[in-house]
Amino acid sequence: MSTQPLAYKNLSAAQLTLSRLLCARQNTFTTVINQSETELEFSQQPADQLPSHTLHLELNGHPYRIYLGNRLLDAFLPGKLDHQGLQKLPDDLRMAVLNHAITPSFQSFSELLGISWSLQNFESTKPEEPPATLGLNIRQNSINTRIELQIDDLLLSILEAIPTHHPRSLPDIPFWATLEKGQSRLSLSELKSLETGDIVFLDQHTSDEQVIVRVNRRTAFLGELANAGVSIIQRHQTMDEHEHEELPADPEDDQGMEHGDAEAGIDLHNLPVNVTFEVGQQQLTLAELQGMQAGYVFELDRSVEQPVNIRANGKLIGHCELVQIENRLGARITHLHDQ
């Protein structure tokens, strides 16, 4: 039975900085593009793939790339000209037409963000290693699309100029959130028999690179784990939220069960113990909790390469490492505290 330690993704320092910037700043804007009201919204959710076209710009004197798809490009172009027709034009004419087409819209962007811009080149997106990008959703009349903005120091400096928002004053009180990988249920006798080197399979767990960020019993988020941080994917439904969906027990069954229990007695060694495998704990503030949304990233205080904590009914009993064993997730015990 072969074992293989789990591997996690890497997050760049720029992605962590970007997440903190957007947490405290306005993410949605309304402006007028081509004489139509347009809503712009930043999205930290990673794109499945980059759009078809790349605009090479110069922003505030620095090179910069924006990626956009066919639908938005067609909306920019005049008359019956579309992206296919644009590609057939000679290079100099193609650049002149595109520059004329995008100027009204990009002028609105530049005034909104306080930057200067010029178009340097236009080409099909190359199938190379994609850079980290920030999504910008664009909604205007029948258009609902998204472009990708290259994440670099230039973008971060532009976003820093956006005013911060303070919807309400929050006390700067830190609290701890746990990062859970999964759980198992063991009997008390099974728990007491654990030894260093044993492997416990997880009955319930997230996928390879995901964890549950648990604030309390009623508040939790699903996140993607990297060696440097956690990227929030969505709100996670907790066990308390499942309770209202459960059907009430039959009173007659309860009476029968109580009668049977009275005759048979209770074997304490068979009582189930909830064993949680915890990647670690993270100190957060109320402001960070309020800013948690899809794509938000917070930096870990401790590397995920550190041993994973094992908790039995909330009590720390030891440490382990997570391993993949023939398509099953297991925890190999590396240390057990004296009980």
What confidence score (pLDDT) does residue 45 get? 79
Reported as a single tens digit per residue, the pLDDT across 21-75 is 887 777 888 877 767 888 989 988 778 889 999 999 999 999 999 999 999 899 8
Q: Report the percent of the chain where pLDDT is more than 70.
A: 82
Q: Which residues contact 293 (CB under 8 A, 6 or more apart)?
A: 44, 232
- Three-class SS string for 180-233? EEEEEEEEHHHHHCCCCCCEEECCEECCCCEEEEEEECCEEEEEEEECCEEEEE
Buried-state track 311-326, b at ≥16 Cβ within 10 A, e below 16: bbeeeebbbbbbbeee
Q: Which residues contact 276 (CB under 8 A, 6 or more apart)?
A: 180, 182, 183, 310, 311, 312, 314
Average pLDDT, integer, range 156-185: 78
Specify the higher pLDDT residue, 61 or 295.
Answer: 61
Q: Which residues contact 282 (CB under 8 A, 6 or more apart)?
A: 176, 177, 178, 179, 213, 230, 298, 300, 301
pLDDT level of residue 92 (50, 70, 90 thresholds)? very high
Q: What 3-state DSSP class applies to 249?
A: coil
CATH 2.30.330.10, the chain: domain bounds: 4-8+170-238+270-336
CATH 3.40.1550, the chain: domain bounds: 25-160
What's the CA gap between 257 and 280, in Å, rounded?
Answer: 39
Q: Are 294 and 234 in contact (CB under 8 A)?
A: yes
Given the candidates 2.40.40.20, 2.30.330.10, 3.40.309.10, 1.10.3720.10, the CATH classification of the domain at 4-8+170-238+270-336 is 2.30.330.10
Average pLDDT, integer, range 165-175: 64
Question: Does 3.30.1490 match the CATH number of domain 25-160?
Answer: no
Cα dihedral 210, 287, 299, 202, rounded to 10, equals: -30
What confidence score (pLDDT) does residue 114 get? 82
What confidence score (pLDDT) does residue 61 get? 93
Per-residue pLDDT at 302 exceeds 80 = no
pLDDT level of residue 79 (50, 70, 90 thresholds)? confident
Any idea what DSSP says for residue 130? P
Mean pLDDT of the chain: 81
Partner residues linked to 278 by β-bridges: 180, 309
